[in-house]
Structure 1
Amino acid sequence: MTLVETFFNTEVLAASIPLLLRGLMNTLILGVLAIVIGVSAGLLICVLRLYAPKPIRFLTVAYIDVFRAMPVLVVLILVYYALPFVGIRFSAWTSAILSFSMVMAAYSAEVFRSGIESVPDGQFEAASALGLSFPVTLWKVILPQAIRIVIPPTTSNCVSMFKDTALASTVAMPELLKEAQDAQAFYANPTPLIGAAIIYLVFLLPLVRLVGVLEQRFRRAKTR
């Protein structure tokens, strides 16, 4: 067989498109859920790390360090394969969402911490002078400024998260890579994997460029 017939077989690609689209939909759902849950949890963890009592701050630092140090695949395997030995069982979907969300939360917490700490301390002092409570100051004064700073790195983390969803195939979750692998086995041809790679590229390349644009805008705004 030629290179085209082996890796770019149009008949096999056309036949596998329904499977690939189904996998893409699952990938999008998994990625969006993991990002929403992870970013929200990361903001909470960040606030606890910065302003909670010392024992809680220690626990949040430990959480962030552990889940930033552990590969996503290891976390996924521990949640899906190891927890059943202690009587805790999750479906493939739940395991994937939980694992990716925990890792995303750790990275998001560090991003938010960097953003909040970059806001001048005078903002807290000014808000206090106006009689604003700490929660109101944090919500209406500090976070709006910090969010502008954390958007570029958070977008970059989102791109990485969508790529990491391919690891969910290790727990037999029918995301894009898993569907491509099943189609490859069924048709005895690697063309579906090439199709999945093209889909990833078409979907993620604009997000990668968006990260660059956001970083440039932030640098320009910072120099004004």
Structure 2
Amino acid sequence: MDFTGAYSWVNIRFLLDGLLVTLEIAAISIILSFIIGAILGLVRYMKVPVLSFLAGAIVDIIRNLPLLLIIFFTYFALPQIGIRLSIFWSAVAAMTIFESAMLSEIIRGGLNSIPVGQMEAGRSTGLTYAQTIWYIIIPQALRAMVPPIVSQFVALVKDTSLATIITLPELTHNARIVYGQDTNFVIPMFIAMGFLYWVVCYTLSKLSKRLETSNA
């Protein structure tokens, strides 16, 4: 093992460049998947005719597929039907598709956890069905949804490492390049990767606890 050589500024900067790509992929995917997941979750909760069935079928299919298969699909299969995405956006698309399905179930479960009486109480005050969901159901459901949603975001950050299979220059990919040049760097690079992933995921978990406390 050669910690001194492995942790040269050139290598550290290369790892940080990879970490930046990881964070960019995660941030964009988190925003997009939360929006799409919220829409799918609400559609299923509100039992919209036809749309609810279609949303449920799509979610069930995606949730039972491995993320790696979806990454392969967005990068290798989509070009076959005329949709060409860069490596970066292929990874974003795959992460968004997969996480949207996961988040929709979390959101639907959170909404279903609110007693039916809350809906009836809201409607009795003169609120419409949509207003009752927005002003009464969702605020209460958020308390139950925040921890699993953040946990899913933490999993998303770690799952970005799968995109190394399509040579996305994220953290894991860059670390592999470094220790591929010198086998003495293998353990130092794994330690560095572990530390950087831990910092990001630990920060998200602490944020989750803070949000959970503020919503209590």
TM score, norm. by length of structure 2: 0.89
1:199 aligned residue? 196
2:118–2:137 CA contact under 8 A, matched in 1: yes
Distance (whole Å) between structure 1 residues aligned to residue 203 and residue 76 of structure 2: 35
2:5 aligned residue? 11
1:26 aligned residue? 21
RMSD: 2.1
2:78 aligned residue? 83
Distance (whole Å) between structure 2 residues aligned to residue 216 and residue 147 of structure 1: 9
After TM superposition, give the deviation of residue 214 of structure 1 in Å: 7.2
One-letter amino acid of the structure 2 residue matched with residue 132 of structure 1: L
Distance (whole Å) between structure 2 residues aligned to residue 204 and residue 52 of structure 1: 35
After TM superposition, give the deviation of residue 123 of structure 1 in Å: 1.4
Is the deviation greater in 141-150 or in 198-207?
Answer: 198-207
Distance (whole Å) between structure 2 residues aligned to residue 202 and residue 31 of structure 1: 14
The 5 Å alignment of 1:100-179 reads 100-179=95-174
After TM superposition, give the deviation of residue 96 of structure 1 in Å: 0.8
The count of residues paired between Structure 1 and Structure 2 equals 212
Runs of 4 or more consecutive aligned structure 1 residues displaced over 3 Å after TM superposition: 186-189, 205-211, 213-218
1:92–1:172 CA contact under 8 A, matched in 2: yes
Match of 2:88 among 93, 96, 99: 93
Unaligned runs of 5+ in 2: none
Is the deviation greater in 189-198 or in 41-50?
Answer: 189-198
Provide the secondary structure at the position in 2 that maps to 1:54: coil
Distance (whole Å) between structure 2 residues aligned to residue 96 and residue 26 of structure 1: 11
1:151–1:214 CA contact under 8 A, matched in 2: no
Deviations 1:152-191 (A, max 9, x none): 1111111100000101111111111111112222345323
Percent identity of the aligned residues?
31
Match of 1:62 among 57, 64, 71: 57
One-letter amino acid of the structure 1 residue matched with residue 98 of structure 2: V
